[in-house]
Chain A
């Protein structure tokens, strides 16, 4: 092993200067991972003081452990170990932010354990770096006082650089994921650079070089691709190509497309598949409207995709449709996007249609119009807030908006997957004074789906023919829709009262029983 002939305190030997420079980089990276972990956990878990304190504490303690462990590295292995550690720090630190993001998105339970395990592992590795560098330099017979001073100076300078760069440039411009990959690559670069300059002293150079290049390439890919991470994650969740995605103040809307199948997801829940939505919307609209040839005005609550309105407009007797949907982004999307307008036939721009962006609950309280048919196409009652839209008082309120022989149709979740929820909606409608006519239809992308047609006075018999062309409904299908086979019979359940919100509990239990 060739050894420098003469050692002085002068920084003449380039490799040593390089090592000092690498201290700067290594220190920067070390602090960066700590800041990333702190910022990420603050963003995701809240309580930034707690998160930063506990992360910094864990990290510093782990560094102490690392420093302690560094004494077990044999003198002759110091340089090689340093390179191994750099690669490992680069790899773990580089993916840490992305890994934690994904973990948090998919399963929140082990998030904290993984977070602290990652921080601890990084701390141990980073804690070994400086002692090893010092030993490398010491082995080269540098003057000890000069060595300590120089290493620590650059260590702290690196920390200063990152502590300023991170909040001002990196976090806002690059984001946490990409910042992580960037610093991972810096660690890997130090490893490769050191490897190259001490190539004569390093055992198993080739395998280390390969490993280093692999890590570098991996992190490089991560840096380039992490921008698409959300889209990837969503693609992983939804399966198909995302053609539109936006986050509105109310919800996240994602439209995917695979061959001729277009799907809308709200907050990750499937709203329709263009392949079979006609089944859902024909079943929602036509049994009621076919039996009310006199109906002139229709109110659609929810259903901002305009698909129910499309079906309503096919009845020539309907003169006016009012659509009340919360989210202007939703009705805007389905009024302007050419492809989606093709799906709803431009229903939201039809002269007979008035689109109102308002909260259905508030709108019903303040508006005084009466309608011949009300279609309540709300999201499933998965929260206490939504549960109120399926309650006795809201149905009584809807009854006040019905004309004398008017009818109400309610999307009522699945009588197969969520039977108690389905029959709870039926019971609630009856409690509110309606006569109910429950029915169901098979929609392949949803499974067996349920509806309820409710009237205050008028008798109702399911139509035996349709005056408009239909793809799904005919006399026989309709007859079967209003029949419930033995395994889908009514259940004795309580009505959904506001002070009990039984429906939300039923819904939670029902879907909890379904393996999805």
Chain B
């Protein structure tokens, strides 16, 4: 039976490569699900669908629109502050980029990420994140000290990462030990410079690069790097080593969804010099992860918000009235109107731009100020057992192929403590569509066939394990298409006056989203969510 399935799958894989436009996958008995979270709702509004008249009215004190990390953090903060007059409207993408999924494998349910999958040790400035982690038991002791103690089960277990370089796997993601002396010297100089910048303060006494980003130094000498592409800064600084540049290209696409030719030098450096989080019981630079990635944190936040304060549905129009904010929304029961004293707009800015018709009044002109949104694919492969690996370099949590257009894959079962390897596992492959402009890539994505999406998402897995091995083991595939996956901090992002204006908003309508920082990480989203909740609760 196995042999037959193998041949069958192999044949199909061959065909699908030969005829990429065809819908082959359903013929192979491998179910492929493609998710477009938020797309239908978003496009309906974009395409000018008429607004319905509300059939019911809901009154609340503070309404939070959107339940990604910013919205969830805002709700968590309000609940924690004892505010009981608020309502969290989930929006079309519950948990946003921190969403997770679950496969029913023959050996039990397996959780996996549909978006972000890890959190670095929180920086000294990330107090909201530290408070949350302590509440969830992930920080076990001294949450606000220089070196908190973290739950070991959540720190990425060894072996954490490996790189396929020059025909073999190596520890780490930068192949310093496997390149010539000149290149290795550049690697070391680069890392030393980044380590130095982590501790460097600007003329205002603040660290040059901080998470949250708004706490970074305003020193104009450094902020000028916002105007220079990271690539140009690297060349000007003598960082020409091909292996280093390939690594940095990977880092930019992985972190920001765009390559170093578009990312600003300030953002490129920010990635390396902003974190500085430390742990009592882990080396610097350690990461936290869970089987379904940041969905663990989203769940933890949601659990702390009373179920009665959460509702499904999404906003269609947000308008300010003399007394507060009116939100026209839609859920399964039909259109509704929420009358609130205040609203926290916790949705991505490209969505907010269409929900808040008067957003220009805040100094944000969507035509000029919307940060570019990088399209992403997150593909989850449910596998029968594990493909073979070289004995000396076993499968790591994060597996990256040097120079690939893919961003590698993480293993959802890596953090399990088991005597035997699980009978089934999930590999999550990431892909930022950085080689096209975001608009082109989105147009392509909207019409891409399941096979085309599969070919794009599986590039690393197929290349490493071979089509036959991958197809033989794959039981199910789920591809999450995130057309507007994250804001990319391209040149000018730091100085974007529209973002600065929305960050300052302190009226009846508040904005909370990682987009306000111009790039997408959990810490920024929770920072803005926390801040908005505190402002909303204050008055």
Which chain A residue shows the least CB distance to B417?
Answer: A361
Q: Is B419's CB under 8 angstroms from A389's CB?
A: yes
Q: Is A46's CB under 8 angstroms from B388's CB?
A: yes
A493 at the interface (CB under 8 A from B): no
Question: At the interface with chain A, which of B149-157, B239-247, B248-256, B453-461?
Answer: B149-157
A360 at the interface (CB under 8 A from B): yes
B218 at the interface (CB under 8 A from A): no
Which of A49, A385, A498 contacts B420, CB < 8 Å?
Answer: A385
Q: Is B153's CB under 8 angstroms from A393's CB?
A: yes
Which chain B positions have C-beta within 8 A of A384? Answer: 157-159, 394
Q: Is B418's CB under 8 angstroms from A388's CB?
A: yes
Interfacial residues of chain A within 46-63, with CB under 8 A of chain B in the complex: 46-49
Q: Is B153's CB under 8 angstroms from A500's CB?
A: no
- Contact string, A323-367, partner B, CB cutoff 8 A, digits 1/0? 000100000000000000000000000000000000111100100
How far, in Å, is A511 (CB) from chain B's closest CB?
15
Supposing A46-B466, A48-B468 touch, asked if A499 and B155 sit within 8 A by C-beta, the answer is yes
Q: Is B157's CB under 8 angstroms from A388's CB?
A: yes
Which of A49, A326, A499 has most B Cβ within 10 Å?
A499
Q: Give A499 to B283 CA distance when docked, in angstroms.
A: 9
A65 at the interface (CB under 8 A from B): no
Which chain B positions have C-beta within 8 A of A49? Answer: 466
Q: Is A46's CB under 8 angstroms from B469's CB?
A: yes
B416 at the interface (CB under 8 A from A): yes
B299 at the interface (CB under 8 A from A): no
Q: Is B417's CB under 8 angstroms from A393's CB?
A: yes
Q: Is A361's CB under 8 angstroms from B388's CB?
A: no
A501 at the interface (CB under 8 A from B): yes
Which chain B positions have C-beta within 8 A of A48? Answer: 468
Q: Is B152's CB under 8 angstroms from A498's CB?
A: yes
Which chain A positions have C-beta within 8 A of B283? Answer: 499-500
Q: Give A456 to B157 CA distance when docked, in angstroms.
A: 26
Which of A302, A361, A386, A497 contacts B416, CB < 8 Å?
Answer: A361
Which of A359, A391, A393, A497 contacts B419, CB < 8 Å?
Answer: A359
Supposing A249-B423, A391-B152 touch, asked if A361 and B418 sit within 8 A by C-beta, the answer is yes
Q: Is A326's CB under 8 angstroms from B152's CB?
A: no
- Contact string, A490-505, partner B, CB cutoff 8 A, digits 1/0? 0000000111110010
Which chain B positions have C-beta within 8 A of A154? Answer: none
Which of B394, B417, B466 has most A Cβ within 10 Å?
B417
B452 at the interface (CB under 8 A from A): no
A443 at the interface (CB under 8 A from B): no
Q: Give A498 to B416 CA distance when docked, in angstroms.
A: 11
Q: Give A46 to B420 CA distance when docked, in angstroms.
A: 23
Q: Is A499's CB under 8 angstroms from B156's CB?
A: yes
Which chain A positions have C-beta within 8 A of B155? Answer: 497-499
Q: Give A179 to B157 CA distance when docked, in angstroms.
A: 46
Which chain B positions have C-beta within 8 A of A386? Answer: 419
Which of B158, B394, B423 contacts A500, CB < 8 Å?
Answer: B158
Which of B159, B388, B419 has most A Cβ within 10 Å?
B419
Q: Give A307 to B156 CA distance when docked, in angstroms.
A: 36
Supposing A48-B468, A384-B159, A384-B394 touch, asked if A392 and B417 sit within 8 A by C-beta, the answer is no
Q: Give A129 to B418 CA distance when docked, in angstroms.
A: 57
Q: Is A389's CB under 8 angstroms from B160's CB?
A: no
Which of A249, A388, A504 contacts B417, CB < 8 Å?
Answer: A388
Q: Is A394's CB under 8 angstroms from B417's CB?
A: yes
How far, in Å, is A112 (CB) from chain B's closest CB?
14
Which chain A positions have C-beta within 8 A of B156? Answer: 499
Q: Known pairs A47-B466, A499-B283; list 20 more (Cβ under 8 Å).
A: A46-B469, A249-B423, A302-B419, A326-B420, A359-B419, A359-B420, A361-B417, A362-B418, A383-B394, A384-B158, A384-B159, A384-B394, A389-B419, A393-B151, A393-B152, A393-B417, A498-B417, A499-B156, A499-B157, A500-B158
Q: Could you pull out 17 A-B pairs where Cβ atoms are within 8 angstroms?
A: A49-B466, A359-B420, A361-B417, A378-B419, A383-B394, A385-B419, A386-B419, A388-B418, A389-B419, A393-B417, A497-B155, A498-B157, A498-B158, A499-B156, A499-B158, A499-B282, A500-B283
Q: Could you tell me which B residues sit within 8 Å of A by CB distance?
A: 151-153, 155-160, 281-283, 286, 388, 394, 416-421, 423, 466, 468-469
Q: What are the 3 closest A-B residue pairs judged by CB atoms, nearest first?
A: A501-B158, A361-B417, A499-B155
